Amino acid sequence: MSALNPAADLSAHGHDDHGHHEISFVKKYIFSTDHKMIGIQFLLTTLIMLLVGGSLALGVRFQLAWPWRAMPVVSQVAELVGGPNFIAEGGQISPEFYTMLFTMHASVMIFLVIIPILAGAFGNFLIPLMIGADDMAFPALNMMSYWFMWPAIICFGLSFTVEGLNAAPAQGWTSYPVLSAIRDSAPGAGDAQTWWLLGLTLVGVSSMMGSVNYMTTIINMRAPGMTLFRMPLTIWSMFITAILQAFALPVLTAAGFMLLTERTLGFNFFVPGGLVVNDGDPTVGGGQPLLWQHLFWFYSHPAVYIMLLPAMGMVSDMLACKVRKPIFGYKPMVYSMAAIAGLGFIVWGHHMFTSGMNPALGMTFMISTMMIALPSAVKVFNWIGTIWGGKVVFDTVTLNCVAFVSMFIVGGLSGIFMAAVPVDIYFHDTYFIVAHFHYVLFGATLFGCFGAIHFWFPKMFGRLMSDRVGRLHFTLTFIGFNGTFFPMHLLGIAGFPRRYADPYIHPYMEHLMPMNQFITICAVIMGVAQFLLIGNFIVSIFTGKKAGRNPWNANGLEWTAPSPPGHGNFDILPVVYRGPYEYSSPLVDGRDFLMQTELLPPAGDAGNEPAVDS
Amino acid sequence: MVNKFWPLFFMFWPILAIVSFVIAPSMDWWFPGPAMSKFGEQIDNLFYLILVIVAVTFVGTHVALGYVLWRGVDNRDTKAWFSHGSHNLEVLWSIAPAGILMFISLYQLDVWMQFRVKSHFPEGTTPIAEVTARQFEWRIRYAAPGKKLMTTPQPDDLYTVNDLHVPFGRPVSIRLRTMDVQHSFFVPELRVKQDAVPGTVIPVWFDTMRPGEYDLTCAELCGWGHYKMRGRVVAEKESGFQQYLLTLQAEQNFDGVTRPEHSGAQIAEYGIEDSQ
């Protein structure tokens, strides 16, 4: 299939040479090197992790709404199985456990859900299909990138159990030293923290293998005619993300190792001398805790874009297809993604405005942070422009995409408050921040992912997901989501700090408890709604309507392949003649799409059009 | 009209959002009281400036989004508009936000400089106490009445825990340190926040406009008891503050023994040598 002679292949369609030899079950479904299977493996894994992370979040929410009350269900179950001690006497959440809950919620959601669902699941599945390659450039490396996720998951799991359930990592996902560097500083700062760091490193290894693969594949394996500016925006976003990943991740890995050696081998990077933590011996050394923050955010800010750009790309593709219109401003979309990625490297300091770093840095970081809002704004305008004049039918995909745009506007605008240094003095580490990044990471990215799951599901399994259930899932999630996170802006304005097990001991926050109860109820609705997605997903694999090759009348290369594509993807090697967004083109009559692979006769020579394979 | 359900849905939620912000102050979902410091007022003003800009953008983009969706539903039976975009529009909507964002950021610089750059601190800012955070309390060290606060502890320094007294009406500064992990000195009503970083001492200034008690909280995760690092900042008149220091001094120098006059037996019993 890798023979790049399209003309020869065009005539001999149908028989792909790969379908005939049998692949063992293990090689086909477990240690598969097929990018599609790896993508699906990533998707299923991340969906399971989504439920894990979501349950942890509900624990956090319960404590904030009804502090020190016995958790319903959970405490009964715990009692049934012998009452593990992670919950204090009587079944309520102890403050130690509360810190562990939010730490692991963030760790799971970021490292095991958002990053792998975008790059791992959709990146893997879509890149070769959309650029017309038969597989990734390095299939074995690709397989390893998935199988490095499991050691990571195991490490995170071990971090929960290695010292007993009451000593899971509890330093927040940002894991700031000194808290994370000294074993005595918190119940979870012992071996649990070491395992957590190992897990983080392994996730990094997995991402790195993925990103090397994506870059190589996108640069080298595009189908004939697929020039860079004919690539779908999904591919552009994956490409830019892979570059971001490749350049930013080593810094986090290095920082992680520094912290590991500091914890286990007695090296000294982050802990200054003379600290007396928890009445232990004074520390010796000359480390600098801000160093970690710089290194950590040098990765983790670009990581925010790693967690967002692919969703932006996918939403652009879905939206254009759904409104039957070319994307508004294709090149500005590409350039703005590149600008976000480039600026993304010089804005990390906005996480550290109150950290005590040199105030001059605060100013420069504020200006760069404000400027990164610009490409984001351009993208929003372009999405609205894409819908402008289009045909809108509200199915699940459209709804999720529109929600993506709407939520991203909120997340982007609330970011301006924090980008402004003086205002951030007040808002830093309050619930305003929590609202902001949930609007971006859940509101934008996850709604984008929900849309993408429905959109590309037929390509994955050959069947459509139920649109009715999809819309119900969307509606409940959307209402639950906004009910949960919008009031958090108000909590933030009221000065409600993050990571408080019981904020109500402070008189100025006492009156906010009803609002937190409302938030928790909405969060439960949102959590329960996810079972609709999972159920719809599983049931549709077996009973969904058969999809055919191109159920959405879309233009991309992936829709020329069978659904699901066999080993080697394409039965007809695609040749690309145009960009992916020629919807409603006046060049063709009677239909509103024009696939990238269609060769149109020269202008004036009517008739004799090659058949579309569908 | 059934067709228009979703456009209305997407326009309805921004209305709810706006309404919630409009009624928030009257529902007490707003700042914990008006800013109690002149510096805090500046922060509030900047906040309201951004809020207005953001609200206009939010409404504008959502009206646009709702409009294109609404029209898109009507468009269902016709062919979509075949357009790849507009260069002029792209230029317009790049330059306009760039200008606004640049304005916001330059407009903020002044207040930030005041807060953090030592040479821009308000005139007459005097260090009044050293605040040392630790798991999970605030330890406060004052100089003895009439003395200057030294960088190293002096034998006659005065100590309290979780209770910072300051004179109101003038800018004062504290030396913020931590004994163990990171903490953050956060007084919501004064709009002051600064992390305490192990290994460094950070000067933090603030002013209070009115006498009163303000909650002091920790805003940087510092361990399981993060939530209970509750302290207070008490702003009082200059004379009251001096009086407080004197009381503190008397309390601290009180050795716990109420000494009856000329009771040699008792002195011998407690093994206290009378230096007089």
Q: What is the pLDDT of residues A540-586, one digit of tens each?
A: 999 999 999 999 999 999 999 998 998 889 998 899 999 999 999 99
Give the nearest partner residue to B193 out of A274, A354, A416, using CB atoms: A354
Q: Which residue has the higher pLDDT, A340 or A183?
A: A340
pLDDT at B50: 96
**Taking a contact as any Cβ pair under 8 Å apart, which residues of chain B between 127 and 166 contact chain A?**
134-135
Q: Does B103 touch chain A (CB under 8 A)?
A: no
Euclidean distance between CA atoms A395 and A548, whole angstroms:
18
8 Å CB contact of A417 and B75: no
Q: Name the minimum distance, in Å, from the CA of B261 to any CA of chain A.
A: 41
Residue B265 within a domain: no
- Over residues A181-200, the pLDDT tens digits come to 988 888 888 888 999 999 99
pLDDT at A333 over 90: yes
Structural domain span for residue B38: 2-73+95-118
Euclidean distance between CA atoms A334 and A312, whole angstroms:
11
- Sole residue written with tokens 């005539």: A11
pLDDT at B115: 92
Residue B63 within a domain: yes
Establish how many alpha carbons lie within 13 A of residue A157's alpha carbon, considering only the half-sphere containing its beta carbon. Answer: 8
Element (H, E) at A2: none
8 Å CB contact of A387 and B230: no
Read off the pLDDT band of A591 (50, 70, 90): confident
Angle at A372 between CA B49 and CA A245, to 5 degrees: 145
Strand ordering across the sheet containing B183-187: B163-167, B231-236, B212-218, B183-187, B192-196
pLDDT at A607: 47
Question: What is the token pair recorded at B158?
Answer: 């005065």
Give the nearest partner residue to A584 out of B79, B192, B223, using CB atoms: B79
Q: Name the minimum distance, in Å, from the CA of A581 to any CA of chain B.
A: 9
Cα-to-chain-centroid distance, residue A174: 17
Looking at the structure, do residues B10 and B110 belong to the same domain, yes or no? yes
Given a contact cutoff of 8 angstroms between Cβ atoms, the answer to whether A139 and A577 are in contact is no
Given a contact cutoff of 8 angstroms between Cβ atoms, the answer to whether A270 and A291 are in contact is yes
8 Å CB contact of B101 and A374: yes
Residue of B nearest to A321 (CA): B80
Euclidean distance between CA atoms B214 and A292, whole angstroms:
32
- Sole residue written with tokens 């570059």: A243
Euclidean distance between CA atoms B104 and B96, whole angstroms:
13
Exposed/middle/buried for residue A2 (C-beta within 10 Å: 0-12, 13-18, 19+): exposed
Looking at the structure, do residues B62 and B178 belong to the same domain, yes or no? no
pLDDT at B78: 84
pLDDT at A329: 94
Looking at the structure, do residues B113 and B143 belong to the same domain, yes or no? no
One DSSP character per residue, A229-272 reads GGS-HHHHHHHHHHHHHHHHHHHHHHHHHHHHHHHHT---SSPB
For residue B191, the chain A residues in CB contact (below 8 A) are 425-426
Domain-wise residue ranges, chain A: 31-270, 308-544, 548-614
Euclidean distance between CA atoms A70 and B169, whole angstroms:
47
- Over residues A598-613, the pLDDT tens digits come to 998 876 554 444 444 4
For residue A330, the chain B residues in CB contact (below 8 A) are 84-85
pLDDT at A87: 56
Residue B231 within a domain: yes
Answer positive or negative: Cα dihedral of A471, A477, A480, A481: negative
pLDDT at B219 over 90: yes
Burial code of A58-77, b = ≥16 C-beta within 10 A, e = fewer?
bbbbbbbbbbeebbeebbee
For residue B136, say if its preceding peptide bond is cis, omega within 30 degrees of 0: yes
Looking at the structure, do residues B171 and B248 belong to the same domain, yes or no? yes
Give the nearest partner residue to B97 out of A277, A327, A374, using CB atoms: A374
For residue B86, the chain A residues in CB contact (below 8 A) are 328-329, 385
* ipTM attached to this prediction: 0.91
- Hey, do A31-270 and A308-544 end up sharing a CATH topology, with the first three levels equal? yes
Q: Name the minimum distance, in Å, from the CA of A218 to any CA of chain B.
A: 24
pLDDT at A5 over 90: no
Burial code of A9-29, b = ≥16 C-beta within 10 A, e = fewer?
beeeeeebeeeeeeeeeeeee
**Taking a contact as any Cβ pair under 8 Å apart, which residues of chain B between 164 and 203 contact chain A?**
178-182, 184, 186, 188-189, 191-200, 202
Looking at the structure, do residues B104 and B143 belong to the same domain, yes or no? no
- Over residues A492-516, the pLDDT tens digits come to 999 999 999 999 999 999 999 999 9
Whether domain A31-270 has CATH 1.20.210.10: yes
Given a contact cutoff of 8 angstroms between Cβ atoms, the answer to whether A107 and A173 are in contact is yes
Looking at the structure, do residues B110 and B130 belong to the same domain, yes or no? no
Q: Which of A278, A352, A400, A406 to mutate to test the interface with B (most CBs of B within 10 A)?
A: A406
Looking at the structure, do residues B175 and B67 belong to the same domain, yes or no? no
CA dihedral A554, A556, A557, A559 (to 10 degrees): -20
| Mean pLDDT, all residues of chain B | 90
pLDDT at A13 over 60: no
Euclidean distance between CA atoms B196 and B203, whole angstroms:
10
Q: What percent of chain A has pLDDT over 70?
A: 92
pLDDT at A438: 96
Mean pLDDT for the stretch of residues B64-83: 90
Q: Taking the CB of residue A591, how many other CB atoms lie within 10 A of it?
A: 12
Amino acid at position B189, single letter:
E
pLDDT at A163: 73
pLDDT at A217: 96
Euclidean distance between CA atoms B182 and A82, whole angstroms:
37
Residue B16 within a domain: yes
Question: What is the token pair recorded at A165?
Answer: 């359930």
Looking at the structure, do residues B249 and B139 belong to the same domain, yes or no? yes
In order of A213, A242, A301, A311, A417, the CA distances from A245 in angstroms are: 12, 5, 11, 15, 27
Euclidean distance between CA atoms A93 and B224, whole angstroms:
12
Given a contact cutoff of 8 angstroms between Cβ atoms, the answer to whether A51 and A66 are in contact is no
Number of domains in chain B: 2
Q: Taking the CB of residue A139, how many other CB atoms lie within 10 A of it?
A: 17
Given a contact cutoff of 8 angstroms between Cβ atoms, the answer to whether A264 and A400 are in contact is no
Q: Name the minimum distance, in Å, from the CA of A55 to any CA of chain B.
A: 20
SS3 content of chain B, % helix, strand, coil (to 5): 45, 20, 35
8 Å CB contact of A323 and B80: yes
Pairing of strands B163-167, B231-236: parallel
pLDDT at A3 over 90: no
Residue B173 φ then ψ, to 5°: -130, 155
Q: Taking the CB of residue B161, how many other CB atoms lie within 10 A of it?
A: 12
Q: Name the minimum distance, in Å, from the CA of B166 to any CA of chain A.
A: 20
Q: Name the minimum distance, in Å, from the CA of A241 to any CA of chain B.
A: 23
Pairing of strands B126-134, B172-178: parallel
Residue B201 within a domain: yes
Euclidean distance between CA atoms A346 and A472, whole angstroms:
41
Mean pLDDT for the stretch of residues B83-92: 92
**Nearest by Cα to B38 from B170, B166, B157:** B170
Residue B38 within a domain: yes
pLDDT at B259 over 80: no
pLDDT at A7: 43
Looking at the structure, do residues B132 and B239 belong to the same domain, yes or no? yes
Q: Taking the CB of residue A478, how many other CB atoms lie within 10 A of it?
A: 24
pLDDT at B169 over 80: yes
- Over residues A355-413, the pLDDT tens digits come to 989 999 989 999 999 999 999 999 999 999 999 999 999 999 999 999 999 999 999 99
Question: What is the token pair recorded at B13?
Answer: 């939620």
Exposed/middle/buried for residue A348 (C-beta within 10 Å: 0-12, 13-18, 19+): buried
Give the nearest partner residue to A172 out of B5, B6, B221, using CB atoms: B221
Looking at the structure, do residues B102 and B168 belong to the same domain, yes or no? no
Looking at the structure, do residues B171 and B112 belong to the same domain, yes or no? no
Looking at the structure, do residues B111 and B133 belong to the same domain, yes or no? no
Residues in CB range of A184: below 8 A, 6 or more apart: A277, A278, A280
* Helix residue ranges, H only, chain B: 5-23, 38-74, 87-116, 238-253, 264-270
Residue A2 φ then ψ, to 5°: -85, 0
Residue B7 within a domain: yes
In order of A104, A156, A594, the CA distances from A150 in angstroms are: 16, 10, 42
Q: Does A587 touch chain B (CB under 8 A)?
A: no
For residue A482, the chain B residues in CB contact (below 8 A) are 13, 16-17
For residue B193, the chain A residues in CB contact (below 8 A) are 354, 425-426, 428-429
- Over residues B233-245, the pLDDT tens digits come to 999 999 999 999 9
pLDDT at B38 over 80: yes
Read off the pLDDT band of A17 (50, 70, 90): very low
Residue of A nearest to B120 (CA): A359
As a CATH number, domain A308-544 is 1.20.210.10
Exposed/middle/buried for residue A531 (C-beta within 10 Å: 0-12, 13-18, 19+): exposed
Euclidean distance between CA atoms B83 and B48, whole angstroms:
39
Read off the pLDDT band of A280 (50, 70, 90): confident
Exposed/middle/buried for residue A127 (C-beta within 10 Å: 0-12, 13-18, 19+): buried
